Amino acid sequence: MARLDPQWFIDWADDKIVNHSRRVILTFLVLTVVFGAGLSAVSTESGTEQFAEEVPAEEAFTRISEEFSPRFQEGTGSTQLIHRAPNVLTRRELLRMLEAQKRLADRDDLRVVQTASAASVVAQTIDPDAESLADQKRALEQATDGEVAAAVRENADNPRFVGLLADDFNPTAASSTATIGVVTHSIPLADDSGAGQGGDSPLTPIQGKAVRIVGTVGGDISVFGSGVIADEFGTVITDSLLIVVPAAVVFIVLFLVVAYRDLVDLLLGTAALVMALVWTFGFLGLANIPFNQVMIAIPPLLLAVGIDFGIHAVNRYREVRDDGYDVGESMRKATDQLLVAFFIVTGTTVIGFLSNLVSNLTPIRDFGVVAAIGIIFTFFVFGVFLPAAKVEVDRLRERYPIPTFSQSPLGREGSSLGAVLRIGVKPALRAPALVLVAALVLSGSAMWYATGVDTEFGQEDFLPPAEAPAYLKALPEPFAPSEYSVVADIEFLEERFSSSQSGVVTVFLEGRATDDAFLEELDRVAQDPPDTFISENRRADSTSILTVIQDEASRNEEFAMVVARHDGDGDGIPDRNLDEVYDALLSTESADRALEYISDDYETARVDYRVEADAADDAVVADTREMADRFRTEGTATGAVVVFDAISDLILDSAIQSLILSMLGTGAFLIFVYWWLEGRPSLALANLVPILVAVTFVAGTMRLSGISFNAFTATVLALTIGLGVDYSVHVVHRFIDERADHDLETALDRTVRGTGGALAGSMLTTVFGLGVLVLAVLSILGQFGLLTAASIVYSFLASILILPSALVLWDRFSGNDPVVPLGGPERDAGAVPSAD
């Protein structure tokens, strides 16, 4: 039973730290080598595809990629050549586009299978025999400007031509300010899954070469495609880290110098921080968990908790040393309090991070697990290794002339900082209930205001802004960010072209494709489409297996006869023995196109609908789901915009669920741990007050700053609980220690000056250390840094201004039994200050 006593664990840890410090240090160094071996095995994962796992709309999207493709052929991927000019339809600009197409097609390593452009259409209009790009160039070179303009006007109603031009196309003037050329490459089909959503893409090396080749043509032609997007997904992480890490190091070191004011203590604290990071990322490699973009936040989070633990450990030790105790006894008294506080902080922070396990998004679940493991590692490093190293160093100082600077604690009596930290004590003693009521009213108002926070998710979230801020452009190498083009190109396409990449949605149909009524159902559903769907004569602009059948029948008399034989009502739509119609279709030249819309076993089918490019995503998604519901066949709405909307909903669900679970889990843990350690479970209520205030203020700050819930910020509220507990636990536990020996006012005063000083030091260090995330190229990473820094500031202020009032009320209503902390009077009775 003795081993169930928490004091037994503390005494055991004290003994190892004080009497076996060298063995502890050696053990931790060996473990660092072991975890360090896993660093080389850390893999990376980027883009939006990682968030789409287990999302029904994405599963349908993936099945479409797998099932609807030509048989016996490699897959294909496309590169878009975005051409801008005052008039891209002049002979000179058309020749530039053809030259770009030809230079790409001439490179065998680019695996070009075909190209298409408005320039090719114009050239073939002038010379119908110009099949090759060389012939098309020759036709344009020999044509006059008037002939070129006449060819442009001749194609004014040609969808193959107009569809490649910007919305400002003027057929009378034969002018347009932008056009798109399409280059199709052959690639391994399986490797291109998800390429449009980021992550790895087989088109990345191809389009990287295309950028350099097209750059030699002249004019304003840019390369766009999934390969370029995937490359920028990865590059933005590196560029962000190159800017953020050095800035964070500068701020952290600066504030650690102020907090520690001793070179040796600074080196010990820094070594402990590095050790915690090595353990965490070594575990990442050993556990084969990929490093995703959300995990960029883990290093600063571990630094935040580690810095706090380190400053508290050293500061509390210095306070005891200041009372005249020797090295060993000073560390025993310091760890008696701090190990308990660190344990509570670790437990609640781990609960906060593990609450992300309820998320349906894999990257957020992985983030929660790795962050929780990292916090546990941080507890052992700063709760055991750092005190042992400090004991060893200070004993060496007694024997050798090791330089010693300041060893005074932060917030000591009579200091300016101590006076500032006492600002919450007087209101707490005079009107604690009023302070709490005011805090709860403000908290409730912030929560009400926060109900207007939006939720969003898209690949642009993981890409750099279209225009980098001036301060980033001014940075010298190697810190200057790369040149980025994807977001600007996406915005240009959405603004200037009526049907951009996001202008198509899909309904995935399972079963019944051979039912006699299936094709007529496709026709029926297309009638009277929703407002966001492009339509003509009140029929949706769609492409399906029915479209392929009708197109083939219009030019193939033999197949048209097959269609007629299977059309019982004479409306041109087969309505019996559809498997025979499909078999006949697959024996025609349209077989490959047919297999893009129906599987080879006729069990599944797809229907593509064009939607207005400027329509709101929410409206498009709702309308696509309405279309899917119209089918008697089981239909699933999918496509990039639908998948992203589904993920956006999951992000909001994750944020709310993890917040609720984190609050409940933290509350239950605090009730248990204060009952187990102090016999006072009601202390948990006082502990939760500043956390509640901090969470609501962070949520209100999100709306005030125009920040939405996204892949990063979805974790902020649960994270605020984890970090907020860090501050309130230190204050509560120190108050229990002081209240055992002093009256209420003295206990509060000593608590806010002693622990408050360490909290102020760690708050400033971590706020600036995390605040540098706003410098990141990735904008949502900057938003995350801003909110995390705000959560730390709110947690600190709530612990200094509001928590004292909660403690006063707790003290008044908890009864008259004396508070006896772990390592309390019975331990102190045997402790004698050293003579020096």
**pLDDT tens digit string along 77-101?**
788 899 999 999 999 999 999 999 9
216 φ/ψ angles, rounded to the nearest 5 degrees: -85, -5
Give the pLDDT band of residue 194 (cuts 50, 70, 90): very low
- Residue of higher predicted confidence among 533 and 830: 533
Give the pLDDT band of residue 379 (cuts 50, 70, 90): very high
Cα-trace Rg, the chain: 33
**Using an 8 Å Cβ cutoff, are 751 and 735 in contact?**
yes
Of all residues in the chain, what percent carry a pLDDT higher than 90? Answer: 14
pTM for the model stands at 0.70
Q: How far is CA 42 from CA 33, 289, 300, 302, in A?
A: 15, 7, 18, 18
**Cβ atoms within 10 Å of 529's Cβ, excluding its own:** 21
Coil/strand/helix, residue 678? helix
Distance of CA 245 to the CA centre of its chain: 18
Question: Residue 197: its pLDDT value, please?
Answer: 44
The residue type of 819 is: V
d(CA 261, CA 822): 30
- Per-residue tokens: 779: 């904008």
What would the DSSP string read from start to end of 112-144? EEEEE-HHHHHHHHH-TT--SHHHHHHHHHHS-
128: Cβ–Cβ under 8 A, 6 or more apart, which residues? Answer: none
**Using an 8 Å Cβ cutoff, are 762 and 311 in contact?**
yes
Eight-state DSSP code of residue 483 = P
**Using an 8 Å Cβ cutoff, are 41 and 286 in contact?**
yes
pLDDT exceeds 90 at position 707: no
Helix (H) or strand (E) holding 366: helix 362-380
- Residue of higher predicted confidence among 493 and 329: 329
pLDDT exceeds 90 at position 763: no
Helix (H) or strand (E) holding 684: helix 683-704
**Using an 8 Å Cβ cutoff, are 195 and 79 in contact?**
no
Closest CA to 85 of 134, 119, 130: 119
Q: How far is CA 466 from CA 83, 226, 269, 489, 491, in A?
A: 18, 17, 40, 8, 8
- State the residue for tokens 């902020």: 716
**Using an 8 Å Cβ cutoff, are 636 and 63 in contact?**
no
**Using an 8 Å Cβ cutoff, are 641 and 620 in contact?**
yes
Burial level of 409, CB count in 10 A (0-12/13-18/19+)? buried
pLDDT exceeds 60 at position 192: no
- Per-residue tokens: 2: 């003795």
Question: Residue 825: its pLDDT value, please?
Answer: 43
Rounded to an integer, the average pLDDT of 554-563 is 87
**Using an 8 Å Cβ cutoff, are 725 and 691 in contact?**
yes
Helix axes 779-801, 744-771, angle to 10 degrees: 170
Distance of CA 547 to the CA centre of its chain: 40
The DSSP bridge partners found for residue 482 are none
Compute the C-alpha angle 26/378/376, nearest 5°. 105
Element counts in the chain: helices (H) and strands (E): 33, 10
- State the residue for tokens 């498009």: 620
- State the residue for tokens 């995703």: 292
**pLDDT tens digit string along 465-522?**
666 667 676 776 776 666 777 777 777 777 777 544 447 888 888 877 888 888 888 8
Q: Are strands 178-187 and 112-116 parallel, antiparallel or unpaired?
A: antiparallel
- Per-residue tokens: 78: 């496309």
The residue type of 775 is: L
Burial level of 323, CB count in 10 A (0-12/13-18/19+)? exposed
Give the pLDDT band of residue 817 (cuts 50, 70, 90): low
537 φ/ψ angles, rounded to the nearest 5 degrees: 55, 40
**Using an 8 Å Cβ cutoff, are 406 and 266 in contact?**
no
The DSSP bridge partners found for residue 187 are 75
pLDDT exceeds 50 at position 823: no
Rounded to an integer, the average pLDDT of 277-286 is 91
**Using an 8 Å Cβ cutoff, are 281 and 39 in contact?**
yes
Q: How far is CA 750 from CA 243, 311, 345, 410, 805, in A?
A: 40, 17, 21, 12, 15
